[in-house]
C-alpha cells in the first residue's frame, strides 16, 4: 500500500506551478552538475591525450633517428667490408631501398582499394548511369 509520501503528484494545498518550477529547478541543477563533471573530465582527457600524442611524436622521431643511424652504419660497414668508397656504398643502400619500394608499390597495386565496398561502388555506378540516362532524356532535341 502506498503512503501519501510516495505519491509523485503535487501535495494537496500546494501550487502545481510552484511544484513544477521546483522540479524543473532540480532537473536543471542535475544537468548543470553533469555538465560541470563532463567539462572537468574533458580537461583531464585533453591533458592525457596531449601527453599521449607528444610521447608518440617523440617515439617516432627516435625511431627515424635510429633508422638513419643504422643506414649510416650500414654504409660504413659496406664501404669497409667490400672496400668500396662511401659514395658507392650509399648507392648500394639506396638501390636496396628502391627495390623494397618497388616491391611494396606492386603489392599495393595488387591489393587495390577497388575491392573495398563493392556493393556501394556498384550502387554509385548504377546511380551515375541512371543520372546520365535521365539527363540525356530530358535534353531538348
What pLDDT, on a 0 to 100 scale, did the predictor assign at position 56?
96
- Report the 10 Å Cβ neighbour count for 78: 17
What pLDDT, on a 0 to 100 scale, did the predictor assign at position 71?
96
Say if CB 45 and CB 60 are below 8 A apart.
Answer: no
DSSP code, position 140: -
The C-alpha atoms of residue 87 and residue 25 are separated, in whole angstroms, by: 78
What pLDDT, on a 0 to 100 scale, did the predictor assign at position 57?
97
What pLDDT, on a 0 to 100 scale, did the predictor assign at position 116?
73
Q: What is the pLDDT along the chain (141 residues), one digit of tens a residue?
A: 555 555 555 555 577 778 888 888 888 888 888 888 888 888 888 889 999 999 999 999 999 999 999 999 999 999 999 999 999 999 999 999 999 999 999 998 888 766 677 788 888 899 999 989 888 887 766
Say if CB 75 and CB 90 are below 8 A apart.
Answer: yes
Torsion of CA 125, 128, 129, 131, to 10 degrees: 160
Find all residues with CB under 8 Å of 71, minimum gap 6, and list them.
Answer: 93
- Record the pTM: 0.51
What pLDDT, on a 0 to 100 scale, did the predictor assign at position 73?
96
Please give the C-alpha separations between residue 108 and each of 46, 50, 101, 113, 119, in angstroms, as whole numbers.
36, 33, 10, 9, 22
What pLDDT, on a 0 to 100 scale, did the predictor assign at position 112?
75
Amino acid at each position: 500500500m502506498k503512503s501519501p509520501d510516495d505519491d509523485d503528484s503535487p501535495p494537496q494545498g500546494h501550487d502545481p506551478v510552484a511544484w513544477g518550477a521546483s522540479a524543473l529547478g532540480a532537473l536543471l541543477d542535475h544537468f548543470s552538475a553533469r555538465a560541470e563533471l563532463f567539462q572537468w573530465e574533458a580537461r583531464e582527457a585533453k591533458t592525457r591525450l596531449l601527453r599521449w600524442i607528444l610521447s608518440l611524436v617523440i617515439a617516432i622521431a627516435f625511431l627515424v633517428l635510429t633508422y638513419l643511424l643504422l643506414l649510416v652504419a650500414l654504409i660504413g660497414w659496406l664501404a669497409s667490408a667490400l672496400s668500396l668508397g662511401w659514395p658507392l656504398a650509399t648507392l648500394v643502400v639506396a638501390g636496396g631501398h628502391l627495390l623494397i619500394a618497388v616491391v611494396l608499390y606492386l603489392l599495393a597495386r595488387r591489393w587495390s582499394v577497388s575491392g573495398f565496398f563493392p556493393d556501394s561502388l556498384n550502387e554509385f555506378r548504377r546511380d551515375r548511369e541512371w543520372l546520365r540516362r535521365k539527363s540525356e532524356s530530358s535534353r531538348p532535341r
